[in-house]
Amino acid sequence: MAKARTAYVCSECGADFNKWQGQCGACGAWDTLSEIVLESAAAAKSPASRRSGWAGKVDAPKVTALKDVRHHEDARVTTGIGEFDRVLGGGLVEGAVVLVGGDPGIGKSTLLLQAVAQMAATLPGLYVTGEESLAQVAGRAARLGLPVDGVNALAETGVERILEHAAALQPKLIIADSIQTLWTESLTAAPGSVSQVRESAARLVRYAKETGAAVFLVGHVTKEGGIAGPRVLEHMVDAVLYFEGDSGSRFRVLRAFKNRFGAVNELGVFAMGEKGLKEVPNPSAIFLSGGSARQPGSCVMVTREGTRPLLVEVQALVDSSPLSNPRRVAVGLEGNRLAMLLAVLHRHGGVAVGDQDVFVNVVGGIRVQETAADLPVLLAVLSSLRDQPLADKTVAFGEVGLSGEIRPIPNGEERLKEAATHGFKRAIVPKANAPKGGSYKGMEVIAVERLVDALDAA
């Protein structure tokens, strides 16, 4: 057998190097390179007998005209959970490898156990648990009242043994819970280390591509928000889904961060309850803090995450600061953007908050990444500063430019429709997004071109 080759991999960005060095040459991080053993070519080869897809045999690799390649758009299997299907891009695809990340205790194991049980009739599944005992998994399935016929479970962390069992059992769906507990004999590094996680994941990815079985990898997220250590995993898999949510709230949001088979930023919303995760098919209502009397410092916006509009509430608290360098804190929004917006508010809106602490939060633990939040953020800040609530049943959206202009955002009409459906009466929107006539389905639409107009309207 050929001598094992080694490489040095950065745990931050996943770049490979031939030699160890103190600083990663790609991303500049210090002391992040660790050694991994690369498999010899012989070991990487797999027996052709393992090849069989959901839709029958998969041929050995050969050059083929692209137009002749058999492809199956309909080879999606529903997970039995509508919101999960939505995030996956309309169901699970044959041979897909999906990384599900999130904080410990957020509900990753629960969701995947529910999914594997619901899919068992169409896709016989193998639930590999490296964290819980088989009795714990079975106990949870029983408590949740899940149909477990056709679901096999395995308490094992060695990838070689997992693949042996898989080869014998031929499951069409494998859940690896979690990838951080898996290890391969070909490496001496400890389980959970970058090299082990990367190599274990690589084996499972290869298995999925060869056999057409779908694989879910569960990954714990570090405090910084990355999937523990290996960002590398994000490049290797077809889709990366993150579970987000307030620890205090029972609502959970599953977001597609990367998806080769669907829209990114697509959200699935769930509520954690007695019987596990229940889908919330109409999530707009839950992200509003409730209470019909509006409070100062609150503005409802219509965001569009993935392919669906969503009403969320942005809250701001502006308070005189004892610090010489007042605080700007954004939760669920980008911090730098908040600082920029406050500068625009001063320069073009004539509202100074330089001596104030400014805290901005998106209700419900949801993260809003789009610029449509700019205008709602500033309206919430102004409302808090003046200690006056916005008019009742008002929504807003729009991007704020550095010269104080309000710029249009995509899918304006769809957002207005969502607001009208939920009983809103007034909308403050960019001029280019406003319908002619100043109203939409009985809702007054105030078109604004400049930040000052928007502040006047509010």
Residue 136 corresponds to which amino acid? Q
The item of Mg ion, ligand TYD, none sharing an interface with residue 104, based on CB under 5 to 8 Å by kind, is ligand TYD
Least Å distance between CB 107 and ligand TYD? 4
Q: Report d(CA 68, CA 108) in Å as an integer.
A: 39
Segment contacting ligand TYD by CB under 6 A, of 46-54, 100-108, 278-286, 416-424:
100-108
Q: Report d(CA 365, CA 267) in Å as an integer.
A: 13
Told to check if 107 binds ligand TYD by CB under 6 A, we report yes
| Residue number, 280 or 373, with CB nearest to ligand TYD | 280
List residues bridging with 76 in a β-sheet: 93
Write out the binding residues for ligand TYD, residues 249-288 only, by CB under 6 A.
272, 274-276
Tell me the helices (H) and strands (E) count for the chain, helix number first.
Answer: 11, 24
Count of positions on this chain that bind ligand TYD (CB under 6 A)? 14
Closest Cα to residue 35, out of 9, 2, 3? 9
Q: Which of 11, 32, 34, 109 binds Mg ion (CB under 5 A)?
A: 109
Least Å distance between CB 292 and Mg ion? 39
Closest Cα to residue 266, out of 242, 285, 301, 293? 242
Torsion of the alpha carbons at 283, 427, 376 and 255, rounded to the nearest 10: 20
Least Å distance between CB 1 and ligand TYD? 39
**Phi–psi pair at 181, nearest 5 degrees:** -95, -10
**Local structure of residue 90 (DSSP, 8 states):** S
Q: Which residues contact 330 (CB under 8 A, 6 or more apart)?
A: 337, 338, 360, 361
Told to check if 104 binds ligand TYD by CB under 6 A, we report yes
CA 360 to chain centre: 21
Least Å distance between CB 177 and Mg ion? 6
| Residue number, 113 or 120, with CB nearest to ligand TYD | 113
| Residue number, 109 or 181, with CB nearest to Mg ion | 109
Segment contacting Mg ion by CB under 5 A, of 48-56, 103-111, 202-210, 288-296:
103-111
Angle between helical axes of 108-119 and 134-143 (0-180°, round to 10): 70
107 annotated as ligand-binding: yes
Q: Which of 102, 306, 365, 412 binds ligand TYD (CB under 6 A)?
A: 102
108 annotated as ligand-binding: yes
| Residue number, 109 or 200, with CB nearest to ligand TYD | 109
- Both structure tokens of 318: 């502006």
Residues of each annotated binding site for ATP: 102-109
Binding site residues, ligand TYD, CB under 6 A: 102, 104-110, 140, 144, 272, 274-276
